[in-house]
Amino acid sequence: MFESQQSVQLLDLGYLTLGSVIFTTGLVALLINLLRYKYRDWTLAFFGCLSIMVGLHFLANTDTIRLLMGGGPYAWSTGRTALNYLLAVTAFAFICSYLGSGWRFSLHWASWGYVIFACAALVSLIIPSIREFFIAANYMVIILVLVTCFANCVRPVYRKDHGAQFIAIFCMGGIIYFLLKSLGSLNILSVNFHNEWARLTIFHSSVVVLVLVVRFFFIREERLAAVRLEMSTARRIQSSILPKAIPTVTGLNIASRYEPMTEVAGDFYDFIVTDEGCLGVLVADVSGHGVPAALIASMVKVVFLAQSDQAGEPARILTGMNRVFGDLLESQFVTAGYAFIDMNTRQLHYSGAGHPPLLIRPAVSGDIVLLEKNGLMLGPFPEAIYESVSFDLTPGDRVVMYTDGFIEAINGEGEQFGGARLQRFLAGSSPAGAENFADDLLAEVTAWEGRRQSDDLTLIVIDILPNAFESDVRNT
């Protein structure tokens, strides 16, 4: 009798220690996620929440905590039941954050279905007449969601993913456990999960699972840290291909903004200043995002500079670039717009390759002018022909070049910012200077999108100053 009581006390101490360790692990995971919030990876955050819930579950099942906290059996039973619902919610949230929405959004709908069920079940805890129904139904609902999770884990796409394999084993163990619990609640099979041997088995299994999970996430975080370091290096390299400074051209006020969606981007811009003091501006956008797009963006610079001897002829610039890209690109393409401001003839020459139109707000009329001399995008059609269009400039004109991230920015209601809204913003802007306009437009689009940027943003604003054509043009 004494040995049995001592064994129970040791097991209780083991549960207390294990619960504390898992709870602390969850807090550490949340702290790490908070420190790296800019990466927008919620997997570690959900893992932290799940660990906290599991830790609380173990602690709530110890006699030590019950004695310290006080409260009657009914209160503890209600608290543990509520904790079970919340534990399942965080577990499914973690699985979804790791595996994604699943085949045909099956994981998404299954998890949200359980969230709705859990909300109703939590309300049922204060209604004794339906409380037991939800407790019994909970087992079956969890089994259905676990089966969905398991089916998604064994899809061919996850065969080499050790994390998915671990989740599959977890789901299979959960299915067996809750199936036995369900059969016990229906009095079909008598299984006591509260005796010493059952608790001992659960304890040792939990220790093994904890070690495996922490080891897996340690390795995963180590790999992610290495990837982030590489991405940070890639961003520094990509930043080096962008202009170090805005060129100074007499008569022009120039501003640029470059906001990548991720560490590296597919947008690119560059300037050419000729010996005659004229300015060429290229804005390009590579299809796709991330590293593949960034690698091609770095190629754009090389290909563009190779055409610099034709700076005053936009159509020839794009034609030359397209012929080179026809041999380099396979499934991707590049849209581009090239403008050349000739300060001697007081004209802007423009040609585009599948790019959003260049916008001009004339100082005289204020009516927005769209230059849309667009040919095919660069790459897929090596023999494509490009043409240019010209516009007579006057002092006070404002020229705006941009990538489609501005007009395709989406708000919370799924509505795009759109070209018409951009034109209205330009028409109503003050002549306070290119820098102010660039800041105001970027703030407007950022506020429109909210917290999540959906695409790379590149913007070039050129103001023709009042004294633009009164003296010789020079580059400093």
Task: Answer left, alpha or beta for residue 420, where phi above 0 means left and psi between -120 and 50 means alpha.
Answer: alpha
Amino acid at 271: F
For residues 420 and 156, give the distance between their C-alpha atoms in angstroms, rounded to a whole number. Answer: 45
- 274 closest CA partner among 337, 210, 225, 341: 341
3-state secondary structure of 356: coil
- The domains found in the chain, sorted by start residue, are 2-233 (1.20.1070), 243-464 (3.60.40.10)
Contacts (Cβ under 8 Å, ≥6 apart) of 341: 252, 278, 279, 280, 281, 347, 348, 393, 399, 462
Residues in the chain: 476
pLDDT tens, the chain, 476 aa long: 444 555 556 667 777 887 888 888 888 878 877 876 655 567 778 888 888 888 888 888 777 787 777 777 788 888 888 988 998 898 888 888 888 888 888 999 999 999 999 999 999 988 888 888 898 888 899 999 999 999 998 888 887 777 788 788 888 888 887 888 777 766 676 655 554 444 445 544 555 555 556 656 666 666 666 666 666 666 676 667 788 889 989 899 999 998 887 767 788 899 999 988 899 999 999 887 777 777 788 888 889 988 888 999 999 999 999 988 877 777 789 999 999 999 989 999 999 999 999 999 998 887 899 998 888 999 888 889 899 999 999 999 999 999 999 999 988 788 899 999 999 999 988 877 899 999 999 999 988 887 677 788 999 999 999 887 765 444 43
Work out the number of other CB atoms within 10 angstroms of the CB of residue 160. 8
Whether the Cβ atoms of residue 336 and residue 284 lie closer than 8 Å to each other: yes
Kindly list the distances between the CA atom of residue 444 and the CA atoms of 141, 182, 233, 357, 449, in Å, as whole numbers in the listed order: 45, 55, 30, 20, 9
Phi, psi (degrees; rounded to nearest 5) at 90: -70, -35
* Nearest one of 109, 106, 182 to 143, comparing CA atoms: 182
Q: Give the list of residues 6+ apart from residue 126 with CB closer than 8 angstroms, or none.
A: none
d(CA 104, CA 81): 32
Q: Decide if 322 contacts 307 (C-beta within 8 A).
A: no
Partners of 249 in beta bridges: 475
